[in-house]
A and B are shown apart, each in its own frame.
Chain A
Amino acid sequence: MNSNSGETMSSEVMKNKSGTDSTQKVFWKSLEEKNHSEEFKKVAEREFLSSPFATEDGNDEVARRDFLKLMGASIALASTACVRKPVDRIVPYAEHPPEITPGVANYYASSWAYAGQVTGLIVKTREGRPIKLEGNPGFPVNKNGLSAAAQAQILSLYDPDRLQSPVKVENGSAQKITWDQLDEAVTPELKKGSVVLLSSSLSSPSTKQLIGDFFQGFKGKHVVWDAIGADDVIEGQKASYGNSIVPRYRFDRAKMIVSFGADFLGSWLSPAEFSSQFAQNRKPSSEMNKLVVFESMMSLTGANSDTRIQVKPSQTLTAVMAILHELIVTQKASRYAGDGAIQKTLSQFSNAAADLGVDSALISQIAKDLWANKGQSLAVAGGLNTRTKDSLSLQVAVNFLNSVLENDGKTLDGSSVPVVSYEGSYAAIESLIAEMNRGDVHTLIIHRANPVYALADSFGFKEALKKVKLVIYTGGHFDETAKLAHYVAPDHHHLENWGDNESQEGVYAIQQPTVRPLYDTRSLELTFISWAYQLDAGPARLREPDSWLQYLQTNWRDLKNKLGLAGDFESFWTNFLRTGVVDTSSRNGKRSSNAPERKFLVNAFTSIQKPKSDTALELVLYTSVGLGDGSNSNNSWLQELPDPITKIVWDSYVSIAPQTAKTLGVKEGQVIEITAGGVTLKLPVHIQPGCHPGALAVAVGLGRTDAGSVGSGVGVNAFQFASNAVFAGIDAKVNVTSEKIELANTQGHHSMEGRQIVVQATLKDYLKKPDANIHKHKMLSLWPKHEYKGYRWAMVIDQSVCTGCSACVVACQSENNVPVVGKKHILDGREMHWIRIDRYYVGDESNPETVFQPMLCQHCENAPCETVCPVLATTHSDEGLNQMTYNRCVGTRYCANNCPYKVRRFNWFNYTTTLKKPEVYALNPDVTVRSRGVMEKCTFCVQRIHDAKGVAKDKGITVKDGDVKTACQESCPTNAIIFGNVNDKGALVAKTFDDPRAYSVLEEFNAVPMVKYQTKIRNSDAVQSDGKGAH
Chain B
Amino acid sequence: MIKREILIEGNKTYKDITDEICAPVETLPPKGWFYYFIPAKLGLLFYLSVVATILGVGMGLMGVNHPVGWGTDIVTFVFWVGIGHAGTLISAILFLFRQKWRTGINRTAEAMTIFAVMTAGIFPLIHTGRPWLAYWLLPYPNQRGPLWVNFRSPLLWDVFAVSTYLTVSLVFWYIGMVPDIATLRDRAKNKIRKLVYGALSLGWRGTNRNWQHYESLYLILAGLSTPLVLSVHSIVSFDFAISGLPGWHTTIFPPYFVAGAIFSGFAMVVTLMILIRIGMPQMKDYVTINHLEVMNKIIMATGLMVGYAYASEFFIAWYSGVEYEKYAFINRAFGPYWWSYWIMAGCNVIIPQIFWFRNMRRSIPVMFVVSIFVNIGMWFERFVITVTSLHRDFLPANWGMFNFTFYDFGVIIGSFGMFFTLFLLFLRVLPMVAMSEVKPVLNVGRGEDHHA
Contact = CB atoms under 8 A, between A and B. Distances in A.
Interface of A: 747-755, 757, 825, 828-831, 836, 838-840, 853, 855, 864, 867-872, 888-894, 896-898, 900-902, 905-910, 931-935, 1001-1002, 1005, 1007, 1031
A855 B129 contact: no
Nearest to B391: A748
Contact of B129 (A836, A864, A869, A889): A889
Contact of A753 (B124, B243, B327, B401): B327
A902 B128 contact: no
Contacts of A831: 66
Contacts, number: 171
Interface string B231-269: 000000001001111000000000000000000000000
B243 A934 contact: no
B164 interface: no
Max chain A CB contacts within 10 Å: which of B63, B66, B323, B392?
B66
Interface in B115-150: 124, 127-130, 133-134, 136-137, 147-150
B33 interface: no
Contacts of A752: 396
Interface stretch (B52-60, B198-206, B311-319): B52-60
A900 B244 contact: yes
A890 B133 CA distance: 6
Contact of B244 (A754, A888, A890, A1005): A1005
30 contacts: A748-B399, A748-B401, A749-B397, A750-B396, A755-B394, A825-B60, A828-B63, A828-B403, A829-B400, A829-B401, A831-B66, A855-B397, A868-B154, A869-B153, A889-B129, A889-B130, A892-B129, A892-B155, A893-B70, A894-B155, A894-B239, A896-B66, A897-B243, A900-B393, A908-B65, A932-B130, A933-B59, A1002-B395, A1005-B244, A1007-B244
Interface of B: 57-60, 63-70, 124, 127-130, 133-134, 136-137, 147-150, 152-156, 159, 239, 242-245, 323-324, 327, 390, 392-401, 403
A872 B149 contact: yes
A1007 to B, nearest CB: 8
Contacts of A754: 323
Nearest to A885: B147
B128 A868 contact: no
Contacts of B68: 829
Max chain A CB contacts within 10 Å: which of B60, B136, B156?
B60
A634 B319 CA distance: 54
Given A748-B400, A829-B400, A894-B153, A901 B66 contact: no
Given A752-B396, A754-B323, A902-B395, A871 B403 contact: no
B294 to A, nearest CB: 39
Contacts of A907: 58, 129
Contacts of A836: 397
A910 B130 contact: no
A868 B129 contact: no
Contact of B393 (A871, A902, A905, A932): A902
B393 A868 contact: no
Q: Interface residues of A: mostly helix, strand, loop or mixed?
A: loop
A892 B71 CA distance: 12
Given A869-B150, A897-B390, A909-B58, A840 B396 contact: yes
Contacts of B149: 870-872
Contacts of A894: 69-70, 153, 155, 239, 243
A908 B156 contact: no
Contacts of B58: 907-910, 932-933
A749 B245 contact: no
Contact of B65 (A755, A828, A869, A935): A828
Nearest to B133: A890
A774 to B, nearest CB: 16
Given A872-B150, A896-B69, A755 B155 contact: no
A932 B243 CA distance: 25
Contacts of A825: 60
A1002 B394 contact: yes
Contacts of A902: 66-67, 393-395, 398
Contacts of B392: 749
A22 to B, nearest CB: 48
A900 B147 contact: no
Nearest to B324: A755
B302 to A, nearest CB: 28
B130 A898 contact: no
A747 B153 contact: no
A838 B159 CA distance: 37
A830 B149 CA distance: 28
Given A829-B66, A898-B245, A902-B393, 10 more contacts: A829-B403, A830-B60, A868-B154, A870-B159, A872-B150, A890-B130, A893-B127, A894-B155, A894-B243, A906-B66
B159 A830 contact: no
Nearest to A874: B150
A748 B398 contact: yes
A868 B153 CA distance: 4
A750 B128 CA distance: 31
Given A867-B153, A890-B128, A890-B136, A755 B396 contact: yes
Nearest to B144: A888
B243 A898 contact: yes
B323 A755 contact: yes
B128 A897 contact: no
Given A829-B403, A869-B150, A888 B70 contact: no
B129 A890 contact: yes
Contacts of B403: 828-829
B137 A890 contact: yes
B69 A893 contact: yes
Contacts of A1031: 323
Given A890-B129, A934-B130, A870 B397 contact: no
Contacts of A753: 327, 396
B70 A871 contact: no
Contacts of A864: 243-244
Nearest to B130: A933
Nearest to A748: B399
A105 to B, nearest CB: 30
Contacts of A871: 136-137, 147, 149-150
B394 A900 contact: yes
Contacts of A896: 66-67, 69
B67 A829 contact: yes
B398 A891 contact: no
B323 A867 contact: no
A82 B154 CA distance: 44
Contacts of B154: 868
Nearest to A900: B394
Nearest to A902: B398
A17 to B, nearest CB: 48
Contacts of B133: 890
B35 to A, nearest CB: 39
B68 to A, nearest CB: 7
A934 B153 CA distance: 18
A898 B400 contact: no
